[in-house]
A and B are shown apart, each in its own frame.
Chain A
Amino acid sequence: MDIFQEVLVNNNLITAFVFVGLTVYIAYFISHKFTEGRFHGSAIAIILALLFAYLAGLFTDGEKGVADIAILSGIGILGGSMLRDFAIVATAYGAKFSDLKSSGVAGVFSLFFGVILSFVLGAIVAIGFGYNDPVSISTIGAGTVTFVVGPVTGSALGASSDIIALSIAAGLVKSILVMTVTPIVAKQIGLDNPKSAMVFGGLMGTNSGVAAGLAAVDPKLVPYGAMTATFYTAVGCLIVPSLLFFLVGLFF
């Protein structure tokens, strides 16, 4: 056994690829088999990952989730800030300013309004639960923007891992609610045309939630919402760790 373990540890990044690949496979299997795809596989995969991190924490008494287990130390590299930032920046590729222009004033307004609204609501809840340092408040507020903006903000500002985990959890709750509630309320909120789909993407911004939610309403609307949601992530990564963090700092 030891010689096998040595291979896994010495090639820890490759082991991490396999581990994440299996996790994602199980997640999509659950998604298709038990929810007919309504509950998007990506959300289930992140839930599983948080669950694994919890279990690993129980067994290792460490603070780095599964990365504290020797053979899974590669998760620390794969999920570390360098590759994460690289991949997040890559998601901006293909988004064109001309598309954003076509969404009109409502689309552009929804972007900034959506980011600021989500941040403010998340920050208020954080303050209500007794957090009183600007880094924690901003990271949790960023998490309600999306589960990407949360950790990006958290690592930029030097938040602790448990606060970053909370920001992922808050963003995850948002994403799951968007994907499940959207088909139910689509009619009431008039979500049946490209324009409202772009406003929807700009207000919610959580890419996986927006894509899955729109797919359940009308697959033709997905590209419109996904476009503004991509800009939303960029706006979030831009103004949350800067402008909005400074504003929080004025009060705390």
Chain B
Amino acid sequence: MVIYGIALLGICTLIGLMLGALLGSLFGIDANVGGIGIAMFLLMFFSSSLNTRFKIGNISEKGITFWSMIYIPIVVAMAAKQNVIGALDGGLMALIAGIIVVAVSFIFIPIITNFKKR
């Protein structure tokens, strides 16, 4: 049943967000601290052990893969609802930040790939 997959995804998301909220309140800030990351690792844990311990079946799986495939369109919608006019002043900063981070990261690729050979 496709709803099983959606429900499993929902369980992971909700538990992650709850733990994130809990962490936030423990540290005394009004923020969800890493909840999405926790949820992603929870789902990875499930999908890593699905073939061995759990079985959710092909159709149930589609309840998760649908949401995974629609993530770019949702990011497009998210971009379309931002206050872009308010952000225009910082456009140059965004450009410079993007350029610097890519340039530096490229330099590190051969260094890290060859770690062990050194």
Nearest-neighbour CB distance to chain A for B110, whole angstroms, equals 5
Contact flags A171-192 to B (C-beta < 8 A → 1, else 0): 1111011100100010011110
Residues 14 to 54 of chain A near chain B (Cβ within 8 Å): 16, 20-21, 23-24, 42, 45-46, 48-54
Partner of B36, one of A75, A110, A152, A173: A152
Residue with the greatest number of chain A CB neighbours at <10 A, chosen from B20, B48, B94, B116:
B94
Determine the interface band of chain A, counting residues with CB < 8 A from chain B: 35 or more
| Residue A71 CB within 8 A of the other chain | no
| Residue A4 CB within 8 A of the other chain | no
Residues 1 to 42 of chain B near chain A (Cβ within 8 Å): 9-10, 12-13, 16-17, 20, 23, 27, 30-41
Q: How many B residues face the partner with a CB closer than 8 A?
A: 75
What is the CA–CA distance of A198 and B24 in the complex, to the nearest angstrom? 33
Known: A65-B84, A84-B74, A85-B17. A171 touches B98 (CB 8 A): yes
Determine the chain A residues whose CB is within 8 A of the CB of B78 once the complex forms.
Answer: 79-80, 84, 151, 168
| Residue A3 CB within 8 A of the other chain | no
What is the CA–CA distance of A64 and B82 in the complex, to the nearest angstrom? 5
Residues 39 to 89 of chain B near chain A (Cβ within 8 Å): 39-41, 43-45, 47-48, 61, 64-68, 70-88
What is the CA–CA distance of A191 and B110 in the complex, to the nearest angstrom? 8
Contact B31 A156 (CB under 8 A): yes
| Residue A161 CB within 8 A of the other chain | yes
Contact B84 A238 (CB under 8 A): no
Nearest-neighbour CB distance to chain A for B53, whole angstroms, equals 13
Partner of B81, one of A51, A64, A92, A185: A64
What is the CA–CA distance of A144 and B94 in the complex, to the nearest angstrom? 8
Contact B72 A45 (CB under 8 A): yes
Known: A50-B84, A237-B34. A199 touches B113 (CB 8 A): yes
Could you list some 20 contacts between A and B, CB below 8 A?
A42-B76, A49-B76, A50-B82, A52-B80, A53-B81, A57-B84, A78-B74, A79-B81, A91-B40, A93-B44, A117-B104, A140-B93, A156-B35, A157-B31, A158-B30, A158-B31, A165-B83, A168-B79, A169-B94, A203-B109
Q: Which residues of B contact A (CB under 8 A)?
A: 9-10, 12-13, 16-17, 20, 23, 27, 30-41, 43-45, 47-48, 61, 64-68, 70-88, 90-102, 104-106, 108-110, 112-116
Other A-B pairs, 15, CB within 8 Å; known A49-B79, A118-B105: A75-B80, A79-B76, A80-B78, A88-B71, A96-B47, A110-B108, A121-B97, A121-B101, A125-B93, A156-B20, A158-B30, A161-B83, A169-B95, A170-B98, A233-B40
**Top 3 closest pairs, chain A to chain B, by CB:** A238-B37, A173-B98, A79-B77
Q: Which residues of A contact B (CB under 8 A)?
A: 16, 20-21, 23-24, 42, 45-46, 48-54, 56-58, 63-67, 72, 75-76, 78-80, 83-98, 105-106, 109-110, 113-114, 117-118, 121-122, 125-126, 129, 140, 143-144, 147-148, 151-152, 156-158, 160-174, 176-178, 181, 185, 188-191, 195-196, 199-200, 203-204, 208, 231, 233-243, 245-246
